[in-house]
A and B are shown apart, each in its own frame.
Chain A
Amino acid sequence: ITIMAAAARFFVRGAHPKLSFSGVCASAQRSLGAGLLKLSPSCASRTKTHKRHAAHFTFQPDPVPTQYGPTQKMNLFQSVTSALDNTLASDPTAVIFGEDVAFGGVFRCTVGLRDKYGKDRVFNTPLCEQGIVGFGIGVAVAGATAIAEIQFADYIYPAFDQIVNEAAKYRYRSGNMFDCGNLTIRAPWGCVGHGSLYHSQSPEAFFAHCPGLKIVIPRGPVQAKGLLLSCISDKNPCIFFEPKILYRAAVEQVPVDAYTIPLSQAEVLQEGSDVTLVAWGTQIHVMKEVANMAQEKLGVSCEVIDLQTILPWDIDTVCKSVAKTGRLLISHEAPVTGGFAAEISSTVQEECFLNLEAPISRVCGYDTPFPHIFEPFYIPDKWKCLEAIKKMINY
């Protein structure tokens, strides 16, 4: 109950006290004058924001990278555009395709690329995900670098067969004669505050069950550009999920030139001695806050690890950390049953059983479809993570 009440504090809703409607009912263009809309009783006491939602995290930018040359202020979608720009410039076989990408894409990730590189290299496809990915596999197998965009990760399922049965198994079944390593699939991912059932999903767990694929999820613009460039140059089919809530919210100084960040290497963002926190994407920013809260309120020192590559994942880094701290908390938005935290938890208990001071904790979404109105209560926010840490410490 305490958790729910705490979460309720963050569900802020307000409304304009006065409003005027005009031009309703097209044929009679009449102003209705100012009508006073009564606020709901639960809203009356709130004087605060008019925001649809208070975000459940605060983006914490990475320090400015110095080893890759000059940098420029970019948000997440701009860093993706920059990566794609570098790719199209250096790789003459690279093509980008998907729904609505020619104009720049629904999230502005491909703005300007068609004008710069031509309509034969950046083009729209019809609305057919299965076709888009199948087509992309073909392009990749024939030797060109294919970067396919699926408009939202929620729409990737028609392409599931192509990805799992064709892309992932091409090299294996042909004895290395053919492969579609030139294929990279990009898709916006994760909750966004107002996405409801079909614009908020995190499907990484479905694909993690498929050997042959690589799955990568960045936490911010600097990581996104480096990881995306690694995915594109990696000789395996990669799925790159971009946290859509960070497209505008995440702003960092990003190197202008091309650079890569290695795949399958988890990054320790903050060292600690009492609890290991593992997450990826947007949830990293929640975890950083949780680590601070744990230090301030509980005197608990947390080690925060960004997994970055979901498949194949960096078992060593996580296990070394748990061997040191003895406690592990894994958090993701996707539902808990069969979510990727289950895989991490299972492997860590195999490797580090005797090091564990408390059972491994998973703070994840409920086992329900991603809800419409209940989103603030569904997502694993910092209060729920903190509660889990408390329970682990007192085990």
Chain B
Amino acid sequence: DFTQQVTFDIKKCDVHGLEEGPADTSVLTRDQGLGLYRSMQTIRCMEQHVDLLYRQKLILGPCHLYIGQEACAVGIEASIDKADHLITSYRSHGFSFTRGVSVREILAEITGRRGGVSKGRGGPMHMYAPNFYGGNGIVGSQVPLGAGVALACQYRGNDQICVAVYGDGAANQGQLFEAYNMAALWKLPIIFVCENNRYAKWTPMQRVSACTDLYKRADYIPGLRVDGMDVLCVREASKFAKDHCQSGKGPIILELQTYRFHRHGTADRHPSYRNEAEVQEYSNKDPISRLAGQVIHANMTSAQEFEEIDMEIRKEVEEASQFAITDQEPPLHDLCNYVYHNSPPLKIRGIHRWATLVSIGNTL
């Protein structure tokens, strides 16, 4: 017989530019707890499969795993609506899942097959869904884009917000400051989320940032520094941020302090820019085990129920993995499609004068 609802204590956020931040407690129901666990565990299992597939040379293209950062995507999604908008960087598999892309479509996209969410054309980074504007390869490019989406929301008066996610490396890009300025000036309903995993690829954040308080970076925009390894913290902070935006107060920055357990990308070979002790220290703060521990300790569920969930997830991911390897690659003529919007189909110049392909540009 399980407890249906518990109030957990969470770490208080550091606050900038505001009287007060989110509360230091979080109310969690049993269903919500199981839901958060399931989401995070699915992402974890899926990403581990991606790593395996990469090592078997079944994946093309640079692949960046979300292992360790699951609390960020899942916590944010728990507080926004499906109708809200989100855009992120190249470390996008977690968000692709939370925004509604199935594990099957994610894995098939990573292996570049027809069944992938972008029809096999985007690869590991470029996955999209309604109100999810992708995975973006160029660092920081997604932030002004997110500001634009927020402007559209404001213009249409539909009470929706946009969440623009970036990393500690992107925090030093000029275009972010341009986006901050416009967002503050026009009070755009945007949450800037910095997933600070302490390393921009191989470079520690503190060596390339004159100001390491990334939540204070846009001096005139309020900010919160949040424990990104605790899904409940992220959830509360995101709720707080969404309320802030929707009440017309303009943008807000969330700095989620998180950590990636794997290398920057699956192709990475550089071994020694982080020390083992640090990786171990953060592994002990694994967001999934943390939530599981809290929820079991509060008697909201049992270890056995979690094991059952694990088995279901593993089965789902394995089936998806099998699909991702056996599905067909996209047809060759798809190489030239969707370069432009054009109707009727457009001739695209090919490898040489005698090869022309025909490009379809309309969704049929």
Contacts known (A28-B310, A373-B112); A366 close to B202, Cβ less than 8 A: no
Which residues does chain B contribute within 8 Å of A91, judged by CB atoms? none
Minimum CB–CB distance from B258 to chain A (whole Å) comes to 16
Residues 166-214 of B at the A interface (beta carbon under 8 Å): 169-170, 172-175, 200-203, 207-209
Q: Any chain B CB within 8 A of the CB of A258? A: no
| Residue interface mask B333-364, A partner, CB < 8 A = 1 | 01110010000000011111111010100000
Which residues does chain B contribute within 8 Å of A197, judged by CB atoms? 123, 126, 137
Which residues does chain B contribute within 8 Å of A125, judged by CB atoms? 208
Residues 1-18 of A at the B interface (beta carbon under 8 Å): 3-4, 15-16
Determine the distance from Cα of A32 to Cα of B343 in the docked complex, in whole angstroms: 51
Which residues does chain B contribute within 8 Å of A365, judged by CB atoms? 351
Determine the distance from Cα of A35 to Cα of B53 in the docked complex, in whole angstroms: 13
| Residue interface mask A227-252, B partner, CB < 8 A = 1 | 00000000000000000000000000
Partner of B318, one of A35, A154, A361, A391: A35
Contact A374 B332 (CB under 8 A): yes
Minimum CB–CB distance from A383 to chain B (whole Å) comes to 10
Contact B60 A367 (CB under 8 A): no
| Residue interface mask B115-131, A partner, CB < 8 A = 1 | 00000111101100000
Q: Any chain A CB within 8 A of the CB of B325? A: yes
Contacts known (A127-B200, A197-B137); A26 close to B288, Cβ less than 8 A: yes
Which residue of chain B has the shortest Cβ distance to A366 in the bound complex? Answer: B350
Partner of B61, one of A23, A100, A196, A377: A196
9 A-B pairs with C-beta separation under 8 A: A21-B52, A26-B288, A364-B351, A365-B351, A366-B350, A372-B121, A373-B329, A374-B332, A388-B352
Q: Any chain B CB within 8 A of the CB of A126? A: yes
Interface on A for B, CB 8 Å cutoff? Answer: 3-4, 15-16, 19, 21, 23-28, 32, 35, 37-40, 42, 50-53, 99-100, 102-104, 106, 124-128, 130-131, 154-155, 158, 194-199, 336-337, 359, 361-369, 371-375, 377-378, 380, 384, 387-388, 391
Which residue of chain A has the shortest Cβ distance to B112 in the bound complex? Answer: A373
Leading 3 A-B pairs by shortest Cβ distance:
A373-B112, A126-B172, A198-B137
Interface on B for A, CB 8 Å cutoff? Answer: 41, 44-45, 48-49, 52, 56-62, 112-113, 120-123, 125-126, 137-140, 169-170, 172-175, 200-203, 207-209, 267, 270, 273, 286, 288-289, 292, 306-307, 310, 313-314, 317-318, 321-322, 325-330, 332, 334-336, 339, 348-355, 357, 359
Contacts known (A26-B288, A99-B201); A127 close to B44, Cβ less than 8 A: no
Contact A50 B208 (CB under 8 A): no
Known: A158-B175, A362-B352. 13 other contacts (CB 8 A): A21-B318, A26-B286, A32-B314, A40-B328, A127-B139, A127-B208, A194-B62, A363-B352, A366-B348, A366-B349, A368-B348, A368-B359, A372-B60
Minimum CB–CB distance from B279 to chain A (whole Å) comes to 14
Contact B173 A127 (CB under 8 A): yes
Contact A28 B352 (CB under 8 A): no
Contact B310 A51 (CB under 8 A): no
Which residues does chain A contribute within 8 Å of B125, judged by CB atoms? 196, 198
Determine the distance from Cα of A391 to Cα of B306 in the docked complex, in whole angstroms: 66
Contacts known (A26-B289, A371-B335); A38 close to B326, Cβ less than 8 A: yes
Which residues does chain B contribute within 8 Å of A155, judged by CB atoms? 138-139
Partner of B326, one of A32, A39, A373: A39
Partner of B173, one of A128, A362, A374: A128
Which residue of chain B has the shortest Cβ distance to A21 in the bound complex? Answer: B52
Which residues does chain A contribute within 8 Å of B122, judged by CB atoms? 372
Which residue of chain A has the shortest Cβ distance to B172 in the bound complex? Answer: A126
Which residues does chain A contribute within 8 Å of B354, judged by CB atoms? 387-388, 391
Minimum CB–CB distance from A252 to chain B (whole Å) comes to 23
Contacts known (A25-B41, A50-B57); A384 close to B174, Cβ less than 8 A: no
Contact A27 B306 (CB under 8 A): yes
Contact B173 A367 (CB under 8 A): no
Contact B328 A25 (CB under 8 A): no
Contact B339 A194 (CB under 8 A): no
Which residues does chain B contribute within 8 Å of A50, judged by CB atoms? 56-57
Contact A372 B123 (CB under 8 A): yes
Which residue of chain A has the shortest Cβ distance to B267 in the bound complex? Answer: A194
Determine the distance from Cα of A278 to Cα of B76 in the docked complex, in whole angstroms: 54
Contact A52 B60 (CB under 8 A): yes
Contacts known (A100-B202, A372-B123); A28 close to B351, Cβ less than 8 A: no
Partner of A384, one of B57, B201, B352: B352
Contact B335 A16 (CB under 8 A): no
Partner of A368, one of B44, B175, B335: B335
Which residues does chain B contribute within 8 Å of A378, judged by CB atoms? 335
Determine the distance from Cα of A24 to Cα of B336 in the docked complex, in whole angstroms: 38
Determine the distance from Cα of A39 to Cα of B335 in the docked complex, in whole angstroms: 24
